[in-house]
Structure 1
Amino acid sequence: MGAWVIGRMGDRRGRKPAMLLSFGLIGIAVIGLPLTPSYEAIGLWAPALVVGFRLLQGFALGGEVGPSTAFLMEAAPLMRRGFYISMQAMSADAAVLVAGLVGVLLAHWLSPAALDAWGWRVALGLGAVIVPFGWFMRRSLVETLDVAATRAATAAPSSGPRMPGYRRVALLGLAMLAAATTTNYVLDYMTTYASVTLGMPERLALGATVMVGLCGLVCDPLSGWLSDRIGRKPVMVVPWVVLLLAIFPAFWLLGRERSSVALFGITAVLTIASTLSTGTVLVAVTESLPAHVRSGGLGMIYAVAISVFGGSTQFVVAWLTQLTGSALAPAWYMIGAVAVGLLAITQMPETAPVKRVREAPMAVAEAAPLA
């Protein structure tokens, strides 16, 4: 719902007001959750408020990706779009890294009872500190959408070939982002997998989250930078082929060794291979959509991929592990997702300006201001 409402707002009224709305709603939820009184204090209002804040957060997050990614692309120099868009993924992985570090520290300092009672409030409260700074930064941004041109493009009658082209991009983008988010959620599941399935200590298992965030922090901008120089498709295909080949032996080795070295090393290898590709998937999908549907279209594709596939990944993986009794169940699920993503990538056109400049430099120069 958030992707539809806020994403379309980004296409009609501008990227900046849509980003301010989504961030403001996220801020309300992030501040409200740790301040919610306990069940003992206010009874049923406590779970009702928590669910309400979580729903508000989900609504806002659904509308965040489309406008912000469209803004980054439109604000970027033509030959650095990949690098600029990768900053979004890098910031998300930085958040994962910080969350992992906070989790490790709280688990080290607090008892399990204290962590359940009030430690989680501390973690969420730390996240709320960024809200005023983020709001101030967004208010200072310059709008990148030409609203008049967008309204003209929306009002103009659509030609026959256009709509199937949009549907094709949407379907391929959904398959690619579904594969990417499934892979990411399996990697995020490594902490639970290591502690619950493999029986490793919780403090050690939390280190896997730190490793995911650290590798993502480094590889996201590297992925964007490489895609600006050699094209989107090579950067998407090669790392995922490596990932496809590495998944099964990596999980087999982790199940056999069950050590910190194996956990951190395998998590790092899988995360690097995954992130180098997934960082560029968002770039390719964004570039494939025209300006007047870029925010809403990307938001809807991303939201469906996250909610349907990403949101169900950890439940499905846990269920498959219990059903089969095999510690390798997450590996097979991840392999299937990557295979689907690779197939979709082969059907996507190359969108990197560096490729188009080599093929038709004049056409790219003329089209650049319209992008």
Structure 2
Amino acid sequence: MPNNPGSAATMSDSAPRPGRAMDVLRVASGNFIEMYDFMVFGYFAAAIGSAYFPGSSELGTLLKALATFGVGFLMRPLGAIVLGAYTDHHGRRAGLIVTLALMSVGIATIAFTPGYAAIGIAAPLFVLLGRLLQGFSAGAELGNVSVYLAEIAPPGKKGFYVSWQSASQQVAVVFAAMIGVVLGMTMSVDQLADWGWRIPLGLGCLIIPLLFLMRRHLRESDLFAARTTRPTMRQIMRHLWVARARVLTGMAMVLMTTVSFYMITAYTPTFGKLLHLPERANLLITAGVGLSNLIWLPLMGALSDRIGRTPILLACTILAILTAYPAMAWLAASPSVTKLLLVELWLSAIYASYNSAMVVHLTEIVPEEAGASGFSLAYSLATAIGGFTPFVVTALISATGNLAMPGVWLTAIAAISLAAALYSRRYSRA
């Protein structure tokens, strides 16, 4: 991919609003498919586990599927470094097209691999390979999108613009959940478990050509196009090593985002089953959480432009520490659909408000010379931990018999992110 400034039209603050809005849509579209695929895997973890990881117990099969869901996150740091460096050298547009291509192969692999009954041990190995490839590409996707949006944002609106990285993911949460609801209404339980779970993955594959078409017309950011030098992999690695304290601080801040997000979205259908609540209601609640996130994210992103990032970061982490376990304990004492909805919406407000300030703050503390790499590495290291949240909380519940254990996990993580948010102020360029 050519990397000279003339290889793509550039963006300036004088660009007309419709053009800038289209660039936000184009860059966020690929982010949608990345999260859509992760959500589908999380929503149908039990069915995917039965297809690829047969075991002696339903819980054992579920844990294997959730472990496979989580293992893809272990590839994110490697993808962050390799693909982030590619983006910092060749351009935001080039990097975003590469990550979309790799994500496409990953989702197709999981969608079309036959089950264990058909090809034996090769089935879970192919699924694992697909998850690893998805994790590798996703390692740089969020960083590429966030840095690009920060670079094209008009002065004083960076928080609002960058919030659309996360907002596009919420569209995926809602879309995947509603597909699950429709499938649950039109198919029997056996049909859904046997082959119906492949339908949403197939739909994701059908959307991919449109996303490629949209990203092909993405304009390079002025800030990147104006650079006279492009760092090599060795130079980027040096920048990251020098800025390792910033990256690790950013990782600790991101932990709150990844743990809370996967807890209230991908894990909700599984958690609802453990609470013995109706499956359709669990998916509808998940869709409601996605809508709630979608509303809070841009609003709080805009607020962070007015009052700063730190007040929001501190308020949200403290609220999580004080309320996560009590809310979960209240739900676990006598589970109901209404209680699950209220708890999830409360955690949604905390997550989305925190994330709206955290993501843009992260773009402001990583080294400018390796913006995509630094952001992606910090985010991916955190996601390598937070992505295992469905597995961790299920294992904690299994070990203790306490259905409120997700609250303990979130409380501990929020305490770490609170300390990191306080420490990060020394690095901010805002």
TM range (shorter): 0.7 to 0.9
> 1:148 Cα shift?
4.4
2:260 aligns to what? Answer: 183
1:316 aligns to what? Answer: 392
**Residue correspondence of structure 1 range 183-262 to structure 2 within 5 A:** 183-188=260-265, 189-196=267-274, 198-262=275-339
TM normalised by structure 2 equals: 0.75
1:151 aligns to what? Answer: 230
Which digits, 9 at most, give the CA deviation of each residue in 1:238-275, with x for residues without a partner? Answer: 23322332212211221233111111111111111121
1:328 aligns to what? Answer: 404
The runs of 5 or more residues in structure 1 that have no matched partner are 357-371
Contact 2:85–2:233 (8 Å) recurs in 1 = no
Residues 156/11 of structure 1: CA separation in 2 closer, same or farther (3 Å cut): closer
- Matched AA of 1:337: I
- Matched AA of 1:313: T
Contact 1:191–1:207 (8 Å) recurs in 2 = no
- Matched AA of 2:112: L
> 1:73 Cα shift?
0.8
**Residue correspondence of structure 1 range 346-365 to structure 2 within 5 A:** 346-349=422-425
SS at match of 2:366: coil
Contact 1:207–1:264 (8 Å) recurs in 2 = no
Contact 2:83–2:95 (8 Å) recurs in 1 = yes
- 4+ residue segments displaced more than 6 Å: 152-159, 162-165, 350-353
Contact 1:96–1:213 (8 Å) recurs in 2 = yes
Which digits, 9 at most, give the CA deviation of each residue in 1:267-323, with x for residues without a partner? Answer: 11111112111222111011112332111111111111111x112222221222122
Residues 113/152 of structure 1: CA separation in 2 closer, same or farther (3 Å cut): closer
Which digits, 9 at most, give the CA deviation of each residue in 1:163-219, with x for residues without a partner? Answer: 8872232121111111221122222323222211x2222222223321221111111
1:62 aligns to what? Answer: 139
Aligned equivalents of 1:205, 1:52: Cα separation in 2: 29
- 1:103 pairs with 166, 180, 186, which one? 180
Residues 351/109 of structure 1: CA separation in 2 closer, same or farther (3 Å cut): farther
Aligned equivalents of 1:350, 1:120: Cα separation in 2: 47
Cα RMSD (Å) of the superposition? 2.7
- Matched AA of 1:141: L
Which digits, 9 at most, give the CA deviation of each residue in 1:25-73, with x for residues without a partner? Answer: 1122223432334556555554443333222222111121222211111
Aligned equivalents of 1:19, 1:233: Cα separation in 2: 29
Aligned equivalents of 1:341, 1:39: Cα separation in 2: 40
Aligned equivalents of 2:241, 2:102: Cα separation in 1: 35
Aligned equivalents of 1:255, 1:349: Cα separation in 2: 38
Residues 67/286 of structure 1: CA separation in 2 closer, same or farther (3 Å cut): same
1:169 aligns to what? Answer: 246
Aligned equivalents of 2:354, 2:94: Cα separation in 1: 31
- Matched AA of 1:139: R
Residues 327/77 of structure 1: CA separation in 2 closer, same or farther (3 Å cut): same
Residues 163/37 of structure 1: CA separation in 2 closer, same or farther (3 Å cut): closer
How many residues matched?
Answer: 350
Aligned equivalents of 2:110, 2:259: Cα separation in 1: 27
Contact 2:327–2:343 (8 Å) recurs in 1 = yes
> 1:10 Cα shift?
0.8
Aligned equivalents of 1:253, 1:38: Cα separation in 2: 40
> 1:156 Cα shift?
8.9
> 1:349 Cα shift?
1.8
Aligned equivalents of 1:324, 1:303: Cα separation in 2: 30
**Residue correspondence of structure 1 range 25-40 to structure 2 within 5 A:** 25-38=102-115
- Matched AA of 1:298: F
Residues 351/277 of structure 1: CA separation in 2 closer, same or farther (3 Å cut): farther
SS at match of 1:96: helix
Residues 205/143 of structure 1: CA separation in 2 closer, same or farther (3 Å cut): same
Residues 151/246 of structure 1: CA separation in 2 closer, same or farther (3 Å cut): same
The runs of 5 or more residues in structure 2 that have no matched partner are 1-77
Aligned equivalents of 1:154, 1:36: Cα separation in 2: 35
Contact 1:177–1:302 (8 Å) recurs in 2 = yes
Which digits, 9 at most, give the CA deviation of each residue in 1:64-110, with x for residues without a partner? Answer: 12222111111111211111111010001110111111112212221
Aligned equivalents of 2:150, 2:261: Cα separation in 1: 23
1:21 aligns to what? Answer: 98
Aligned equivalents of 1:4, 1:164: Cα separation in 2: 12
Residues 153/3 of structure 1: CA separation in 2 closer, same or farther (3 Å cut): closer
2:362 aligns to what? Answer: 285
Contact 1:27–1:131 (8 Å) recurs in 2 = yes
Aligned equivalents of 1:39, 1:262: Cα separation in 2: 38
TM normalised by structure 1 equals: 0.86
Contact 1:7–1:66 (8 Å) recurs in 2 = yes
Which digits, 9 at most, give the CA deviation of each residue in 1:3-38, with x for residues without a partner? Answer: 111101011111111110000111222234323345
Contact 1:231–1:350 (8 Å) recurs in 2 = no
Residues 147/156 of structure 1: CA separation in 2 closer, same or farther (3 Å cut): farther
> 1:352 Cα shift?
8.2
